[in-house]
């Protein structure tokens, strides 16, 4: 009998066969670069399992190119890159990697908050350029966080972890989510710092657009470690240019990996290359969970982190 084949679209933080059984063949794009679309379609043809990353679009075209596919084990918590209904219609499991990246992403959100509040980007640039001439009472004055309001948009695992960290900084916390909290309008009006942690879907795409940004407090900070298209980047650039916002810290982008050119030269913007889960421990755990889902499905078992439900094949 032919062995099942898993196609892995990117280099992982651990070796696949450290998790997978010996009866599973592996085809891996062993690079950190995005796989070209035509190569993805070619290499998925014989795959029984696909392990993609958020930059890989798994849609009907991919599914039609992979008639043997039984599982898409997404290497992420979010799965907006996967057409879940199309997978369900073809009895293809979709899984994700929940839970393990909560603290790493919450820590990074706070790194962005602090970098903006204390103007760390500008300070480091001053040192590296040789412009630092000694301490001065008015040099690069930032802002205190104590007593300010942190607004959290999306109150799942990561949003709650960000809120817990706010206690140590003496901040007041408000949140808005499908499950409760305040209305979005109130969140925008009250927040000195707005941190985004909701999933990307049809309802949240461009949820933060021009009107919402102008509704925020003048001088407020915007943090996005969720998904780029939740924020209208052109509107964000416009709000920054008007001086309405105090700054933005972004780990994700609307057309990732591309970044709106209006963001690149601004001192009041901190940009990171999607590092939310980028710790050794977290990325190893994510890879392990995704690979475990592959092995379970290929053994005929139900995955432990399913996004959808499918009928037995």
**Residues 88, 107 within the same domain:** no
Smallest CA-to-CA distance from 198 within 234, 162, 247 is with: 162
**Residues 216, 291 within the same domain:** no
DSSP H or E segment with residue 94 = strand 93-95
**Residues 183, 107 within the same domain:** yes
Task: Give me the mean pLDDT over the 221-232 stretch.
Answer: 98
Q: Give 136's contacts (C-beta < 8 A, 6+ positions apart).
A: none
**Residues 93, 149 within the same domain:** no
Mind listing the pLDDT tens digit for each residue in 195-216? 999 999 999 999 999 999 999 9
Mind listing the pLDDT tens digit for each residue in 42-100? 999 999 999 999 999 999 999 999 999 999 999 999 999 999 999 999 999 999 999 99
Active-site hit among 61, 122, 186, 256: 256
% of the chain residues with pLDDT over 90? 97
The pLDDT of residue 290 is 98
**Residues 189, 263 within the same domain:** yes
Task: Give me the mean pLDDT over the 8-13 stretch.
Answer: 97
Active-site hit among 29, 75, 227, 283: 227
The pLDDT of residue 32 is 92
Structural domains counted in the chain: 2
The pLDDT of residue 2 is 80
**Residues 37, 169 within the same domain:** no
**pTM listed for this prediction:** 0.93
The pLDDT of residue 22 is 85
**Residues 83, 123 within the same domain:** no
The pLDDT of residue 248 is 98
Q: Which residue has the tokens 């940009």?
A: 271
CATH number at residue 287: 3.40.50.720
Task: Give me the mean pLDDT over the 268-294 stretch.
Answer: 98
Q: Known catalytic residue: 256?
A: yes
The pLDDT of residue 313 is 62
Q: Known catalytic residue: 227?
A: yes
Active-site hit among 75, 119, 274, 283: 274
**Residues 83, 219 within the same domain:** no
Specify if 220 maps to a domain: yes
β-pair type (172-177, 180-181): antiparallel
Q: How many angstroms separate the CA atoms of 247 and 105, rounded?
A: 20
Length of the chain, in residues:
313
**Residues 43, 136 within the same domain:** no
With 0-12 / 13-18 / 19 or more C-beta atoms within 10 angstroms meaning exposed / middle / buried, residue 211 is: exposed
Mean pLDDT of all residues belonging to the chain: 96
The pLDDT of residue 253 is 98
Specify if 13 maps to a domain: yes
User: What is the extent of the structural domain holding 120?
Assistant: 102-271
Task: Give me the mean pLDDT over the 182-197 stretch.
Answer: 98
Specify if 123 maps to a domain: yes
pLDDT band at 312 (very low <50, low <70, confident <90, very high): low
Orientation angle between helical segments 102-117 and 280-298, nearest 10 degrees: 150
């Amino acid at each position: 009998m032919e062995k099942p084949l898993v196609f892995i679209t990117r280099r992982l933080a651990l070796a696949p066969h450290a998790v997978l059984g010996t009866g599973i063949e592996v085809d891996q794009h062993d690079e950190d670069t995005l796989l070209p679309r035509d190569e993805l379609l070619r290499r998925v043809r014989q795959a029984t399992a696909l392990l993609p990353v958020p930059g890989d679009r798994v849609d009907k075209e991919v599914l039609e190119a992979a008639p043997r596919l039984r599982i898409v084990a997404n290497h992420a918590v979010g799965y907006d890159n996967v057409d879940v209904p199309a997978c369900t219609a073809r009895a293809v499991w979709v899984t994700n990697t929940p839970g393990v990246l909560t603290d790493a992403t919450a820590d990074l959100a706070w790194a962005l908050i602090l970098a903006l509040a204390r103007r760390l980007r500008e300070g480091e640039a001053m040192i590296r350029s040789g412009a630092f001439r000694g301490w001065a009472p008015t040099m690069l004055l930032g802002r205190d966080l104590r007593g300010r309001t942190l607004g959290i948009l999306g109150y799942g695992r990561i949003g709650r972890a960000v809120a817990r960290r706010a206690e140590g900084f003496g901040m007041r916390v408000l949140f808005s989510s499908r499950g409760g909290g305040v209305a979005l309008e109130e969140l925008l009006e009250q927040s000195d710092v707005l941190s985004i942690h909701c999933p990307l879907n049809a309802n949240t795409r461009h949820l933060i657009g021009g009107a919402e940004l102008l509704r925020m407090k003048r001088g407020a900070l915007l943090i996005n470690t969720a998904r780029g298209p939740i924020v209208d980047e052109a509107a964000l650039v416009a709000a920054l240019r008007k001086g309405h916002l105090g700054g933005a810290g972004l780990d994700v982008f609307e057309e990732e990996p591309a970044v709106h050119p209006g963001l690149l030269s601004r001192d009041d913007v901190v940009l990171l290359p999607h590092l939310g889960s980028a710790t050794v421990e977290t990325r190893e755990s994510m890879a392990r969970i995704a690979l475990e889902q592959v092995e379970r499905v290929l053994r005929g078992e139900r995955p432990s982190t399913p996004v959808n439900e499918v009928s037995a094949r």
